[in-house]
Amino acid sequence: MRPTRNRVRAALVAGGRAFALSFASLAGSAVLFVLSILSIAFVLLGVGLVTTPWIMDLVRRHADRRRRLASAWSDISIPAPDRTFPKDVRSGFTGQVERTVLLLKDPATWRDLRWLLVDMTAGYVVLALSFALLLFPLEGLVLAAGLWRVFEDDAYWYMFVPVDSQLTALAAALLGVLIFHVGVWSSERLLRLHFVLARSALAPTPEELTRRIDRLTETRHEAVDTAASELRRIERDLHDGAQARLVAMGMNLGTIEALIEKDPAQAKKMLAMARTSSAEALTELRDLVRGIHPPVLAERGLGDAVRALALRLPVTSEVTVELPGRADAPVESAAYFAVSETLANAVKHADADRLWVDMHHAEGMLRISVTDNGKGGAVVGSGSGLSGIERRLGTFDGVLAVSSPAGGPTMVTMEIPCALS
């Protein structure tokens, strides 16, 4: 009895999910498909240059939600394409044209449109079957309960059964029970079939997956190089700073031992010097540890760590944080140091007197924007600080976008895919 009850419960859950998803499949996909086609058609008129990137972003979010549901509800993985824009995409009208052209050249854009068409037709039909096979039998039971009497003058057809008497109404109820059994058997399978159809339309081609693997390989090598460089920096800071002070302090202590009986006054002076040297060495070690992983980041999370960082800046800053949880420690560390370097660049090069930091998490993405009211002109190029930030984010499949027209303002946007706990 219990296995049967579990099967029925699972089928009803799948049917309920299919019913809820059918609205997004029919209405959502249909509206986005029409808007996308109209926007692309209006590109030549100029209007589409403004609307196409915005609408394509809505389509991408719609598809990403379906990917997450496919994984959560049917354990079907639908890989997401790599949509990183080139580094030299400009801001303003020219940048808008470039973005639109890049979107129209991107095979993922046309796959998304193809999926919208499939989703609002075959995808919707499969979802409708998933919950209709569970709902339709109720009509047969209602007819057998007495509703058939409403149709005494003219037979009511329940599929192929003409219902005009209690006997035929009972036959309709029996047919409904059989259909319900079919629904219990097929509801989960039909929901899974819907996601299989989505995967067939949305999944990247082998060539795109190869390019993605190449990019991940490249970012892995960059991460190894960055880690090695960071290790050399730590060794250098230890050697030139705290280690040198500790060695000098040890020599002073040896001299103090020799002077403590012969010249107590001089020994006392050297003890004070040794105490000062130990305090300076301890400060340098704390600064070094803070540079590796700030204690406030480990204890209180990314939001408070960035707030503390902003308080130490010599310019006015405003930090807005909307994070309902915490990301993994490596992601928090990468985001913290990316923000730290971005703020340092703004203070050093932008001639800004005000900074804004906005952090929030949505659609499985940690988004951070750093804006200053400086002179602008920041670019991502070889040897620039922004290039190092981009490499740091690339380790986690993150992206960096920079909008910095001459005269400012400058906005640096970072996105890292992650989940919060």
So what's the pLDDT on residue 347? 82
Mean pLDDT across 41-68: 87
So what's the pLDDT on residue 250? 72
Tell me the CA distances in angstroms from 8 to 60, 142, 163, 181, 305, one per residue in order. Answer: 35, 20, 28, 9, 50
> What is the reported pTM?
0.55
So what's the pLDDT on residue 88? 44
Confidence of residue 35 (pLDDT cuts 50, 70, 90): very high
Report percent pLDDT > 70 for the chain.
77
Please give the residue that has the higher pLDDT: either 209 or 107: 107
Token couple for 11: 């089928």
Tell me how far apart the alpha carbons of residues 35 and 46 are, in angstroms, rounded to a whole number.
15
Residue 156 main-chain phi, psi, to 5 deg: -100, 125
Please give the residue that has the higher pLDDT: either 360 or 257: 360
Tell me how far apart the alpha carbons of residues 322 and 312 are, in angstroms, rounded to a whole number.
21
So what's the pLDDT on residue 87? 44
Token couple for 221: 């090598």
Note the CATH architecture for domain 296-417.
2-Layer Sandwich (3.30)
Mean pLDDT across 119-134: 91
Confidence of residue 173 (pLDDT cuts 50, 70, 90): confident
Q: Which of 346, 349, 390, 348 is nearest to 372 (CA)?
A: 346
- Judged against a pLDDT cut of 80, whether residue 363 lies above it is answered with no
Domain ranges of the chain: 2-204, 226-292, 296-417
Confidence of residue 86 (pLDDT cuts 50, 70, 90): very low
Q: Is 19 helix (H, G, I), strand (E, B) or coil?
A: helix
- List, as one string, the DSSP characters of 122-180: IIHHHHHHHHHHHHHHHHHHHHHTTGGGGGSSSPEEETTEEE-SHHHHHHHHHHHHHHH
For 184: left if phi > 0, alpha if psi spans -120 to 50, otherwise beta; the answer is: alpha
CA 375 remoteness from chain centre: 31
Tell me how far apart the alpha carbons of residues 129 and 108 are, in angstroms, rounded to a whole number.
29
- Judged against a pLDDT cut of 70, whether residue 62 lies above it is answered with yes
Tell me how far apart the alpha carbons of residues 339 and 413 are, in angstroms, rounded to a whole number.
10
pLDDT in tens, 197-231: 999 888 877 766 676 666 666 666 665 666 666 66
Of 91-95, 131-135, 382-386, give the lowest mean pLDDT range. Answer: 91-95
Mean pLDDT across 116-138: 89
Share the mean pLDDT of the chain: 79
Q: Which of 68, 67, 62 is nearest to 29 (CA)?
A: 62
Q: Which of 263, 339, 266 is nearest to 306 (CA)?
A: 339
pLDDT in tens, 224-250: 666 666 666 666 656 555 566 666 667
401: DSSP letter? E
- Counted residue by residue, the chain has a size of 421
Dihedral angle sign, alpha carbons of residues 268, 272, 277, 279: positive
Tell me how far apart the alpha carbons of residues 294 and 285 are, in angstroms, rounded to a whole number.
12
pLDDT in tens, 327-343: 888 888 888 888 888 88
Mean pLDDT across 303-312: 86
Confidence of residue 308 (pLDDT cuts 50, 70, 90): confident
Q: 375 and 382 in contact (C-beta within 8 Å)?
A: no
Neighbour tally for 203: CB within 10 Å: 18
